[in-house]
Structure 1
Amino acid sequence: MFTSVFIACALLGAIVGFFAGLLGIGGGLIIVPVLVYLLPLMGISAELAFPMALATSLASIIFTSSSAAFAHHKNGNIPWSIARKLVLSVAIGALLGAVIAGMLSLKALTIIFASAVLILAAYMFLSIKVQRSVTLPTRWGLQSIGLFTGVLASLMGIAGGAILVPILMYCSLSMRQAIGVATASGIIVAFFGALGYVVIGFGQSDLPPWSIGYIYLPALLGIVLTSSLFAPLGVKAGAKLPLSYMKKGFALFLMLVAFKMICY
């Protein structure tokens, strides 16, 4: 089973990496629904498959977000005075999200994920432009934003950029700065979210071999190895393709995935 999952997730990682480079989207929106359907085919129960998909997605994001954050730091896109104010609350939120996920039923997790994906897909499809409208909140305001982002991102198995970027742009940050802060925060979300899923997963006696808590190593290794190789290809393709139409097409795809998961 190790080999089968590794090969399947290597193919998944190639797709995730390509679309991440092409459209600038987080891989979790693709990884989670695919693993939710793939893992039961490998003999893993549906009840375990969803938290394992979330945990494995977050673990893979640690690597991709770290690379992206380093690039943003080199380009001066991360205002660390703002990012530092989000670190603690994002970490707490990510841990809390993992704990909440461990308490929820499969149906509840599915509805939360699908509903959030529908909202994000609608936002992407409509190409909503966020106008800078209010000044940046105080430290407590930023920490509240970080807590909300951490909880929801951990429950969805994503880095949280799709949540944090529009909020920060509304709070008068430029797009580059918002993306830079979100990328740096994404490392924290992924690390502490994955850590939370590891801790709560140790109480499960029926996890498959090669699991660390809810993180499934064959899937993680396959995704990480190929996603980093195919992301540059997506970036090159993005320079030649009409991205506005592709983003809308991808948003429609996400809506279909969300509807399918609601019926799961």
Structure 2
Amino acid sequence: MTYHGKGQILSIAKPISKERTIEQMESYSNHEYWHQHVDSAEEMIDQTGTYERISFLILPLASAHSVSWDAVLDRPDLFRERMGDQLKRFWGYLKRKATNGKGIPVLTEAELEVAKKAGTRMLNSLEALIPQVRPATPQELELLHRAPYHRGLHEIPTILPSPLPSTVLMTTEGVTLRPRPLKLSLTSAVVQEDTFRLRLKHEDGSVSYQSVMAAATMPEYAEQVGDEWLYQPLEHLDFPIDVSIHFEVTPPKKARDTVHRRQRRRGIPSTAAKGL
């Protein structure tokens, strides 16, 4: 009931350094037996490695312009004032687009504020269902794009600066931001094709692999939110794996109409369809 539309879930295995894992384990206890366990774990990490799973929920935001029109319509007493602001903002957008052509886009503080409101609305609707959800940082998005090329290695490099570089301009319309273009290489490696996989030999001598498998065995309906229908199969594997799931949440009315159409095709009376 909190979201209707298409989306994607990306779950990636982020490697954890051996030093960080051992440091965290040693902080639990100083007992002699525990130190022996840590030594055994260190030997195993050298062979298998350790990683943590990070899940990304990717949803399209509402159009910034539609959010602005909502702001116009929600206050009839301020309709003329807000309508004027909206038309002024739209005229500024057209003028900047004509001036810049195909160059670097320019964003005003007003447009950024409208986009932030659209993101906040989406986040508030999801927090009731997923309390731990939060917006991804640029560095996490960089990690998401680099992960497939460094799968199975002990570290995924990230070099994106924080905050992202931009130029602040003062114009007659107010403060505008011109993002600076960044060209980042996802990886530098020699790629060789093996059977059912790609082998990447990186500059430091390390080797990672890519292999894509499609499966259609996911359950059609999850009984409760939080059921381990996704993570349980992954944890039974002896190697890290990344997962991509595309989904679509259908509004109740549309789903009901679909059921009715299918029932009519099968020759079931409408009363039976209504009972469903």
Is the TM value for this pair above 0.5? Answer: no
Higher RCO (Cα < 8 Å, 6 or more apart): 1
Q: Higher helix share goes to which structure?
A: 1
Asked which structure has the greater CA Rg, the reply is 2
More strand by share: 2
